[in-house]
Structure 1
Amino acid sequence: MAENSLPLQQAAVHPAVQPLSYLLGTWRGQGEGSFPTISPFKYSEELQFSHVPNKPVIAYSSKTWKLSSGEPMHSESGFWRPKLDGTIEVVIAQSTALVEVQKGTYDAEQRRVKLKSALVGNATKVKEMSRIYEVISGELSYVVEMATNLTSLQPHLKAVLKKL
């Protein structure tokens, strides 16, 4: 190492990310979906939450596949930006070209994140979405609600995942 080179600093979890650090890692499990305009379905899912060291952001990705055949279904990715005051901003791009900008809150003690759409972009039918993520007894569960131009906000997806 050259004399005026600084040693690499050990990567640190940003203080804004620390309250949600329990989410970091890979989660896998099963879920089910329904909505008035579609037939009910079941799926397997893998969620990943990763942290860029020293940055106030969590990278998020989700991939689902049919429970019966293993055929790929849906994927989405984005970024979660928690703030020290307990609020959070999230942007998610779906494989369907729909984009969600969500705002919400988190409770580190209860291990719960509540999100509500501030903007749903490039959507002809979807008008609003909400998501609640919660870790209970080591399992991550979530519920996604959706409203369309024909329906009010109602349950669409729910899943339970275990950390790998």
Structure 2
Amino acid sequence: MDEEKENCTIHPAVAPLSYLLGRWRGEGEGGYPTINSFRYGEELHFSHSASGKPVIAYSQKTWNLNSGEPMHSETGYWRPKPDGSIEVVIAQSTGLAEVLKGTYNAEDKVIKLQSQVVANASKVREISRVFEMVNGELCYRVQMATNVTSLQPHLKAVLKKLS
């Protein structure tokens, strides 16, 4: 197999989530009982190398819609498995680290993640994330629980694919 073809090969475990691959951009809004509501711009990037590993690399960055100033970023890896389960690790720019497990439905294009570990967080104790395709757009919702609140809505966004 020549190198150019090899670089286009998607691992069979990644294939059901290949619709994620590329760059996504859009806007979101956040809030929580302990903070003021806010809006933000966002870009997600999902990539898969031809390393032969069943892994999707993930990165995210957000910015203030008015000033353009950076707000938040995170990076990590998504490991889908053939049985419809998925493992995700994410490191946030705030120093928080998440280990999430969940499921994906390739036909409905829905991914549901629940934190197993939230590390280096003085206040956050649980996170859930849901990603789904709706009319060709990638939508997500993040819920969070802290030491003083139960699991509640925190972030939601709608993103369009750039490439």
Normalising TM by the smaller chain, what interval? over 0.9
Q: Distance in 2 between matches of 1:68 and 1:7?
A: 47
Question: How far apart are residue 64 of structure 1 and its match?
Answer: 0.1
1:104 maps to 102
- Say yes or no: does 1:10 pair with 2:12: no
1:3 maps to none
**Which of 1 and 2 has greater Rg?**
1
Partner amino acid, structure 2, of 1:75: S
Aligned 1:14-163 pairs, distance under 5 A = 14-53=11-50, 54-163=52-161
Q: Distance in 2 between matches of 1:59 and 1:162?
A: 19
User: Which 5+ residue runs of structure 1 have no aligned equivalent?
Assistant: 1-5
Q: Distance in 1 between matches of 2:100 and 2:2?
A: 39
Question: How far apart are residue 10 of structure 1 and its match?
Answer: 2.1
Question: How far apart are residue 7 of structure 1 and its match?
Answer: 4.6
Partner amino acid, structure 2, of 1:109: E
| Secondary structure class of the residue paired with 1:10 | helix
Q: Distance in 2 between matches of 1:69 and 1:141?
A: 24
Instruction: Name the % identity.
Output: 67
Structural RMSD (CA): 1.0
Q: Distance in 2 between matches of 1:31 and 1:139?
A: 13
Question: How far apart are residue 55 of structure 1 and its match?
Answer: 1.7
| Secondary structure class of the residue paired with 2:127 | strand
User: Which 5+ residue runs of structure 2 have no aligned equivalent?
Assistant: none
| Secondary structure class of the residue paired with 1:19 | helix
Question: TM-score scaled to structure 1, two decimals?
Answer: 0.95
49-58 vs 86-95, greater mean Cα deviation = 49-58
Change (3 A) 1:68 1:57: same
Question: How far apart are residue 97 of structure 1 and its match?
Answer: 0.3
Alignment: residue pair count: 159
